[in-house]
């Protein structure tokens, strides 16, 4: 198996694992559920970031080598903002 195929397989595995974590998360109620959902969406975005980066590198030639890493890091920031927001919601729910 060449490195391109392995990279694509690992990136796809990341996205599927993040989707399954989102789907099978504990079914709790209230603000805790909202926080956990935000965290899982953030994890899903982080998985998509890697897959999108791989696909952009291999199939979209109009995105140059400077822009692609910026998009990758921008999506990472968005994913971590969702995770951070989820933890804040859960903390507020636990403290109230």
Each of the 96 residues of the chain gets a pLDDT tens digit; together they read: 788 889 889 989 988 988 888 788 777 778 888 898 899 899 889 889 988 888 888 778 788 888 888 888 999 999 999 999 999 999 998 888
- Quick one: the chain helix, strand, coil %, rounded to 5? 85, 0, 15
Domain-by-domain residue ranges, the chain? 3-95
pLDDT on residue 38? 92
> Is the pTM here over 0.85, yes or no?
no
pLDDT on residue 89? 93
The DSSP secondary-structure symbol of 73 reads: H
At residue 54's C-alpha, the angle toward residues 80 and 19, to 5°, is: 50
pLDDT on residue 77? 96
Residue with tokens 């504990």: 26
Chain centroid offset of residue 59 CA: 21
- Name the token pair of 23: 């789907």
């Amino acid at each position: 198996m060449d490195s391109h195929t392995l990279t694509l397989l690992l990136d796809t595995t990341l996205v599927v694992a993040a989707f399954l974590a989102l789907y099978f998360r504990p079914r709790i109620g209230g603000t805790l559920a909202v926080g956990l959902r935000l965290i899982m969406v953030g994890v899903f975005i982080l998985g998509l970031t890697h897959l999108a980066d791989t696909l952009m590198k291999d199939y979209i030639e109009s995105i140059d080598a400077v822009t692609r890493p910026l998009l990758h890091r921008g999506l990472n920031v968005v994913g971590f903002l969702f995770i951070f927001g989820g933890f804040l919601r859960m903390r507020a729910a636990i403290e109230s």
